[in-house]
Structure 1
């Protein structure tokens, strides 16, 4: 999902990873704040285009392989085999099979595959690629940029503790600004304040806090942590140390002003950005501004900035279309949502699950359920990857509105097509049953959620637990209480204070 600039507001799409995934592959920096890179408009004349085509692209690879200077080999076919789980094999076995024959896989191909997997948030598979290279260090020379990417993937797949262990085991020469920057980003993503601040302080002392990137990560952390007032302190430090601002710096600064509801500050920062000749405002800037003004209730100005964002939209960034669809829906502009969606479909030959999820959410938000149902059927007829997140959007609306039969039918069809419900899918249906007074069916759904083998940290909603306990106590139904207690124990809820309080409140005499 998307990150936008609204903090905890319901307008804010969920945030993606801030690790840079584009650029020079294994040579990209270890982390960057979540916004698109600025780009210049294409030259208007054919001669200018020809001249531009003769220039060598400037790629900041930090000394590692440069993707833009190598012709594409056979990485794409191998990537597809890994992405679809070729033959049910793990990524390592697929790579081993592709490494046989006359020509062995090289680092460029493998880093390119990992980059694509990260682009589509296939972090587990991307980590398998790096693990495979790590096991063959006699063949592959891994740089600190590679280590930074691997550290980030470890945190996403195995958790922060494993990432910390990986960092500690790195040789000292590889503990440079890239790996430290990646560790900083891991802590910031995990909202670990003390470790985020201490890591940044270590970077200061070691002379690694000289680039824009770590400052952007720290400022973004403070906005997310609802300490937006600290951003101005970091901005002052950047000015004192002559650290250049980039488009992300300004976007985060605008976020911080919006978080403090400082409309004058937003205007001031934006005007300073326009005056800064080293920075070009991009679509992210304008969707950010639109988000701010939606939050502040100035819908006219928000729509004005969305039109500016559209002018800077290219056929390379699906995320821009996602933001436009979401923000127009918050403005109540159904016709604009459909216009952007049609533009999106005309631009990209393949629409992935995330695109359908964004527009489904927008149509549900607008109350266009008929349109949402038609779109869901389109997705179900075309998709080969039945992501329950897509189905959950429609399912949740049915649950909220009390359409239990429709909710059941939708989930049944999803399972028949080969979809695997997640724990929260079953709880959505449980909520529908509770609203309909079917407590036994609701309890069965929670038991099914518990039985799903998943890395999810799902726990039943306290409100659902409270409602069920109240019903069972009223009926003196100790058997159902025992079943519900088993659900809570299996998810580690019994030691949680909120759940303990509920259990004590509704405890049966003698149980």
Structure 2
């Protein structure tokens, strides 16, 4: 089948579907239902707020706070900040230190720590509490401002604002982010000396630091201490982190023991936890446990999203379990989830890496027959495989499809080794039409060069046609003739 015939229909169909991606299931219009669908980061939400107010509808503080919380959770920080600033500007409620802390955090995320500093400095003294000081510290840490973070921490200590583990967690997080893991245990010790009880996150950061430093004894010591604390409820994540370091150290039995403890602690409805454990068992090469946990996840979670399928398919491909991976793909196809090419692409690339390029191509063709989007990168991977096998004609067909798809994927660039091989083949054996079509497509993606013109000259001469126009075009593109050009032109008289 010629895949390029399906492309135009494919692009049109997917364009239509994308316009109806969001469906508002809320029967009664609320302010939340008006703002939630505005997913584009550049889309302003203020017109919706103003329109709501203009139509005389009630503005409830609790709903605005819920909207801000939801937008932050979905990483739509610019829109969350816009709601917060509008709420403040309109005087919907008197901002407490909590509201100021939220706005300060959003300013830091959207505009940087300098803007967050300015906002903090403008606050009244009564609003400069542990919450707003903590929010500014978090801004400094997030942007890895070590000196400012430590200086600000000192002010917080002087004001008595370091009674919460959050402050110390921020500093441990800072040292983690800048790679100074050896300083994390010192912060933990200081925390305890100041009679601040570490929380789960404190212990997890410290366990991670010891693990990164390959100090497994230190990691185990902190884990035992954590397990002995009455105020700590052990969680699946901590044991998963420990298991990961055991896996890296090649300590399989200890890793499995930690994974079993992790499983005992997870919430049955937590898909993220199942995904994490599935990935770790895949790293151990344990297919049976991967499949068992997938069965548990499907039985426990009401619905599994594309991310769950991606984790499972990645794990199976990692284990060379392609038959099982294809079964999971069928489950995904019938799940009702929105189409996401990343899911089947894992298997497509996996087959290609195994040298089974025919299977990869067949999967891509099948998706296109169904009107589904594919990407130039995947077609390029298959083309590279065919090229390495010496099947240049097949590499050409796949690359033609990849080049056509760059209309929707303008950032993609073809593999130059593959392009060179195809051009050489076209110049020596290809027909004039194939050469012209391929070069025309290629020059929409990369700048035209002498190599492309040499291919066209060879194909044209071999076809018995004149090359005058080609030479004029070559000159217009400011590509001078060289010795190879003269040799090719000499083919006319031989």
TM-score, normalization by structure 1: 0.63
User: What's the counterpart of residue 64 of structure 2?
Assistant: 110
Q: Does 1:167 align with 2:116?
A: yes
Question: Residues 389 and 219 from structure 1, CA distance in 2 versus in 1: closer, same or farther, beyond 3 angstroms?
Answer: farther
Residue in structure 2 matching 1:123, options 55, 71, 75: 75
User: What's the counterpart of residue 83 of structure 2?
Assistant: 132
2: CA distance, partners of 1:365 / 1:409: 21
Question: Residues 366 and 509 from structure 1, CA distance in 2 versus in 1: closer, same or farther, beyond 3 angstroms?
Answer: farther
Residue 334 of structure 2 aligns to a residue whose secondary structure is helix
Q: Which moved more, 1:307-316 or 1:141-150?
A: 141-150
Residue in structure 2 matching 1:362, options 302, 315, 320: 315
Aligned residue runs from structure 1 range 500-511, under 5 A: none
1: CA distance, partners of 2:107 / 2:351: 37
User: What's the counterpart of residue 496 of structure 1?
Assistant: none
User: What's the counterpart of residue 45 of structure 1?
Assistant: none
Residue 163 (structure 1) shift: 3.0
Aligned residue runs from structure 1 range 278-357, under 5 A: 278-315=231-268, 317-357=270-310
Question: Residues 393 and 114 from structure 1, CA distance in 2 versus in 1: closer, same or farther, beyond 3 angstroms?
Answer: farther
1: CA distance, partners of 2:172 / 2:250: 25
Residue 130 (structure 1) shift: 4.2
Residue in structure 2 matching 1:429, options 362, 370, 379: 379
Question: Residues 277 and 369 from structure 1, CA distance in 2 versus in 1: closer, same or farther, beyond 3 angstroms?
Answer: same
1: CA distance, partners of 2:45 / 2:369: 28
2: CA distance, partners of 1:187 / 1:300: 41
Aligned residue runs from structure 1 range 121-270, under 5 A: 122-124=74-76, 127-137=78-88, 138-146=91-99, 148-149=101-102, 162-164=111-113, 166-172=115-121, 173=123, 177-178=130-131, 181-182=134-135, 184-185=137-138, 188=141, 193=144, 195-207=145-157, 208-270=161-223
Aligned residue runs from structure 1 range 61-72, under 5 A: none
Question: Residues 222 and 168 from structure 1, CA distance in 2 versus in 1: closer, same or farther, beyond 3 angstroms?
Answer: closer
Question: Residues 449 and 279 from structure 1, CA distance in 2 versus in 1: closer, same or farther, beyond 3 angstroms?
Answer: farther
User: What's the counterpart of residue 335 of structure 2?
Assistant: 382
Residue 281 (structure 1) shift: 2.0
Residue 265 (structure 1) shift: 1.2
User: What's the counterpart of residue 497 of structure 1?
Assistant: none
Residue 123 (structure 1) shift: 2.0
Q: Which moved more, 1:217-226 or 1:338-347?
A: 217-226
1: CA distance, partners of 2:182 / 2:400: 45
Aligned residue runs from structure 1 range 37-76, under 5 A: none
2: CA distance, partners of 1:99 / 1:371: 55
Question: Residues 303 and 470 from structure 1, CA distance in 2 versus in 1: closer, same or farther, beyond 3 angstroms?
Answer: same
| Count of matched residue positions in the alignment of Structure 1 and Structure 2 | 397
Question: Residues 300 and 319 from structure 1, CA distance in 2 versus in 1: closer, same or farther, beyond 3 angstroms?
Answer: same
Residue in structure 2 matching 1:371, options 313, 320, 324: 324
**Alpha-carbon contact 1:219-1:231 (below 8 Å) kept:** yes
2: CA distance, partners of 1:410 / 1:179: 54
Residue 382 of structure 1 aligns to a residue whose secondary structure is coil
Show structure 1 runs of 5+ residues with no match.
1-72, 488-507
2: CA distance, partners of 1:262 / 1:482: 54
Q: Deviations over 1:469-496 (max 9, x none)?
A: 8658978999999666559xxxxxxxxx
User: What's the counterpart of residue 452 of structure 2?
Assistant: none
2: CA distance, partners of 1:339 / 1:281: 23
**Alpha-carbon contact 1:75-1:109 (below 8 Å) kept:** no
Residue 112 of structure 2 aligns to a residue whose secondary structure is helix
**Alpha-carbon contact 2:113-2:139 (below 8 Å) kept:** no
Q: Which moved more, 1:351-360 or 1:296-305?
A: 351-360
Question: Residues 163 and 361 from structure 1, CA distance in 2 versus in 1: closer, same or farther, beyond 3 angstroms?
Answer: same
Residue 343 (structure 1) shift: 2.1
**Alpha-carbon contact 2:116-2:139 (below 8 Å) kept:** no
Question: Residues 253 and 151 from structure 1, CA distance in 2 versus in 1: closer, same or farther, beyond 3 angstroms?
Answer: same
User: What's the counterpart of residue 59 of structure 1?
Assistant: none
Q: Which moved more, 1:317-326 or 1:252-261?
A: 317-326
Residue 231 (structure 1) shift: 1.6
